[in-house]
Amino acid sequence: MLRLPSERIIPLVPSLVAPLRRGLNTMDPISVAAMLDILRFLLTRHEGACDALLKCDGFRRMLPATNLMLNNKTRVRVGYDNKRIGGDQQMLKDFIREVLLLMCKQGGDKGRALIRSYMPSFFE
């Protein structure tokens, strides 16, 4: 579904927030990595996805779970967009930081302010 054109995906972003949040709240490193990988794919491939997440309050609803996992050193496999079986191994804390930096970059001042409010230590 995420490989469809942006004009078909962007209206569906608000309905994707609940399943992404549920996956993040499992606190299972593999599930969290999979949800963050899908979120990264969505943000990098679909222009306007970040604005849609900000409008539907998706950032605010997904950040608390990532904050709790920010120091997790478990190695997870990522690579949804690579189409490789197994993907690449990466530490979960590094992958979370990578996705949060992407959210900051694409979210602009509003996204940065939201991330700072939920994760004050992220930018130190």
b (16+ CB within 10 A) / e for 96-106: beebbebbbeb
pTM of the model: 0.83
Kindly give the confidence (pLDDT) of every residue in the chain, 124 residues in length, as a single tens digit, with 9 standing for 90 and above.
666 666 777 888 888 889 999 999 999 998 999 899 889 988 888 888 888 888 888 888 888 888 888 888 888 887 766 555 666 788 999 999 999 999 899 988 988 888 888 888 776 3
Closest by CA position to 65, among listed 19, 102, 106: 19
> C-alpha distances in angstroms, 85 versus 48, 77, 89?
29, 10, 12
Give the orientation angle of helix 29-45 with respect to helix 58-68, to 10 degrees. Answer: 140
- The pLDDT of residue 124: 39
